[in-house]
């Protein structure tokens, strides 16, 4: 989902600053709620873990440039289910920032676009989860269909944002439309894989009884 350099240039890139500011505002709101519920130290601990995981996902796991962006296995729904929306969002924007500063400085001009692309679908997924997962259902007990809907929301949102930035920056030429389409097809293939990984990871968490009493994981994971 890293927007390729040169897709959005000049004064147009100012829009990405505004959308990133709004996305970070959603993260700040979720963080305040998390601090009220579990305290600042708890959120910091979770955020360190999620930031390290996101950096690992981006930098170490296989990724491939396709069309206007790159296809990554981000596991956004996994981060959300295990650590909650606040820590997941902090991990996403901090992991992305650390990667840009230390490993891919050429991505820094696109940071606002990439942050928007990662965070807005995350909070859309959080809203969907409240609608499709009963409050009486622990996350470790969700079904494949529910995990699939979360993945569709998150990965589909990423594809929509990447398409928006591509068309906003480069217009609707045949080559640009083709590049966006090839990226979308490749990226949505992850939708079939991520729910399976979610359920495998959640099943593993279910077997680790100590996690049930850990404040480093989302309360809804077991309750």
Least confident span in 21-35, 60-74, 169-183: 60-74
pLDDT at position 82 is 92
Q: Evaluate whether residue 4 is within a structural domain.
A: no
Per-residue pLDDT tens digits for 173-210: 999 999 999 988 887 777 778 778 888 888 887 777 66
Query: What residues contact residue 173 under an 8 Å CB cut-off, 6+ apart?
Result: none
CB atoms within 10 A of CB 7: 21
Q: Find the domain containing 136 and state its range.
A: 10-221
**Does residue 58 belong to any structural domain of this protein?**
yes
pTM (2 d.p.): 0.93
Dihedral angle at the C-alpha atoms of 189, 192, 198, 201, nearest 10 degrees? -90
Give the number of domains in the chain: 1
Query: Does any domain span residue 2?
Result: no
Distance in angstroms (rounded) separating the CA atoms of residues 32 and 30: 6
In this structure, are residues 71 and 4 in contact, taking their beta carbons and an 8 Å threshold? no
Decide if 29 is inside a domain. Answer: yes
Tokens representing 34 are 């998390």
Q: What are phi and psi of 66, to 5 degrees?
A: -140, 120
* pLDDT confidence tier of residue 168, bands split at 50, 70 and 90: very high
Decide if 1 is inside a domain. no
Of 191, 184, 206, residue with least CA distance to 81 = 206
> Is residue 134 in some structural domain?
yes
What is the C-alpha separation between 47 and 82, in angstroms, rounded? 12
- Do 3 and 113 meet the contact criterion of CB atoms below 8 Å apart? yes
Question: Is residue 93 assigned to a domain?
Answer: yes
Q: Is residue 203 part of a domain?
A: yes
Distance CA 98, CA 100 (A): 5
CB count, 10 Å around CB of 138? 17
The pLDDT score that the predictor gives to residue 209 is 61
102 touches 187 (CB < 8 A)? no
CATH classification at residue 85: 1.10.1760.20
CB 158 within 8 A of CB 117: yes
């Amino acid at each position: 989902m890293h927007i390729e350099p040169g897709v959005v240039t000049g004064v147009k890139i100012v829009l990405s600053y505004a959308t990133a500011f709004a996305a970070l505002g959603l993260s700040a709101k979720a963080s305040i709620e998390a601090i009220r519920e579990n305290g600042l130290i708890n959120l910091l601990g979770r955020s360190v873990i999620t930031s390290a995981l996101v950096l690992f996902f981006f930098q170490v796991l296989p990724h491939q440039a396709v069309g206007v962006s790159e296809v990554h296995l981000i596991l956004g729904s996994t981060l959300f289910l295990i650590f909650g929306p606040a820590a997941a969002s902090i991990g996403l924007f901090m992991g992305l920032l650390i990667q840009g500063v230390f490993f891919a400085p050429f991505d820094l001009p696109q940071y606002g676009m990439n942050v928007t692309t990662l965070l807005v679908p995350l909070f859309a997924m959080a809203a969907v989860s409240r609608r499709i997962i009963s409050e009486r259902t622990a996350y470790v007990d969700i079904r494949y269909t529910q995990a699939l809907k979360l993945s569709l929301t998150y990965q589909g949102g990423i594809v929509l944002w990447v398409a928006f930035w591509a068309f906003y920056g480069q217009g609707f030429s045949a080559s640009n439309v083709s590049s966006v389409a090839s990226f979308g097809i490749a990226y949505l293939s992850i939708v079939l894989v991520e729910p399976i990984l979610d359920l495998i990871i959640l099943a593993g968490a279910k077997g680790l009884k100590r996690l049930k009493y850990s404040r480093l994981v989302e309360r809804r994971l077991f309750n």
